[in-house]
Structure 1
Amino acid sequence: MSAIKNYFQQECKFPMLGLEHSKPSDFYTSVWQSTRSSVPLLLWRVLLLLTSVAIVITSFAFYIKSPFSVGYWFIYLTHWGLVLMIASTGFGVATSARVYFYGPISADLNLPWYVKTFWVFHNVAIPVAFLITVFYWTLLYSVDFQEEMDAGLDIAVHAVNTLMMLLLLMSSSHPTRFLHMVHPFLFALTYVVFSVIFYFAGGVNPFGEPWIYPVVNWTKPGPTILLVFVTGVMLIALHFVTVGLAAARDALANRIMRPSVTVYVDEDVALRTHTAQTEANT
């Protein structure tokens, strides 16, 4: 109990709401590597990004080929989650690539904007992906609701998305903070506001019905408000799950990997520069 109490005393301090971290290398090295090279995580994040882009392009292409307007693609929370998946993996790649070409990020200054942006997208994309998967398989699947124009793809975007974000989380090193629950909560609130505006503006789904999801139907405000509240509580719970997974990741990595990180004398030199210099000397 004392460990839990100490955790909340530390995590619930106001500075923890911010986006600063004393060890910038946690954003471009993995807990599963024994060096400070940015290359392993860069390659892994590129793979995740390419897979994410392929999923989105496939989903978008089916809408283009369908008899419905491609604009309908943008009304679904699932597709918002897919965009988050690209944003989080994309900024992860950008952070790792920046270190590869220009050298490590200094701990003497505040974190650069692109690192903070990656952190926010990471905080939002993971619990939202979990929520989309749970929401689909517990509520929408039972009413035979299908967002995609292909049944196989419909299943993929509600399962692979969670797998992708889980892989991103478990390969990272940076912390997932308790108070950062505000990031996915604000995203969810934005979507709720969008759905309300969509309804009152006379928006309809591809089949001409005045709702985006059958279980979120603003023509029946009572049940819909209750469901939105329960879903919000679930999202916060899934953020706690994300925090727990990050803690378990760190604990397991600390047991498996060597306690100290191998440090080279020239580690402050960008790997790209170092490679070029080595080739020139030979």
Structure 2
Amino acid sequence: MLLVIDIGNTNITIGVYKEDHLVGRFRMTTRMERTSDEYGLMLHSYLQASHLNVEDVKDVIISSVVPKINYSFSSSIIKYFHIRPLFVGPGVKTGINIQIDHTSTLGSDRLVDAAGAYYTYGGPCLVIDFGTATTYDVITEKGVFIGGVIAPGIGIEAGVLSSMAAQLPEIELVKPQHIIAKNTVTAMQAGVVYGYIGKTEYIIKKIKEEYGQNLKVVSTGGLGKLIAKETELIDIYDQELTFKGLKIIYDKNKKDRH
């Protein structure tokens, strides 16, 4: 089995592949203070709870945008699985040609999503990942990553609204039936969710104006489903896109691993 792990700013998501089939997925919160033992024991517990044999894990690939926990997380894999994980980064084959300024600053999460979208759905495509931040990235027909947009995630917008205004509460991110709201909570939900749908559509339209209308729009991310189902401008919502990208990148590098 192969573990594919995406370390994000808010959550760490783990997928388990048996050959080409995703047979398990888990999620834990990202916390800087966790030790390698804590991570290792949690991973073991998740696998055992899903009736997956820990000894069947033969390799691990990781994408991380949180460098501060890479050492402890990597140490947990080495200690509890006896595997030195492959981190997506310089020197790793991805099949994506990066043509942006300062290529070393490109987040591995964006690169993984690009590989997942391009090799699953083809190009040209616009990949949107609704995470802590929302990223919009363009990959050409020939698999060239030419740039994109980074915006605050919908969770950040909702959090800032409640934290910066003393009388506004925290809210659940759901779309109200009507945009004209009759109470504070629904008014906030309308402003955040309808507003985010509008922002998403505007950015997609502007990117298509600049690149071309033939872009296939592929989205992913924890809150992506909420937005994707409310607009016709998103063609595909794929909850497993990051896992697919990690598996694709692993397959391009596995000969070098063994």
**Per the shorter chain, which TM-score range?**
under 0.3
Question: What TM-score does the superposition give when structure 1 sets the normalisation length?
Answer: 0.24
Q: With CA pairs under 8 Å and 6+ residues apart, which has the higher RCO, 1 or 2?
A: 1
Greater gyration radius: 1
Structure whose residues are more often strand by fraction: 2
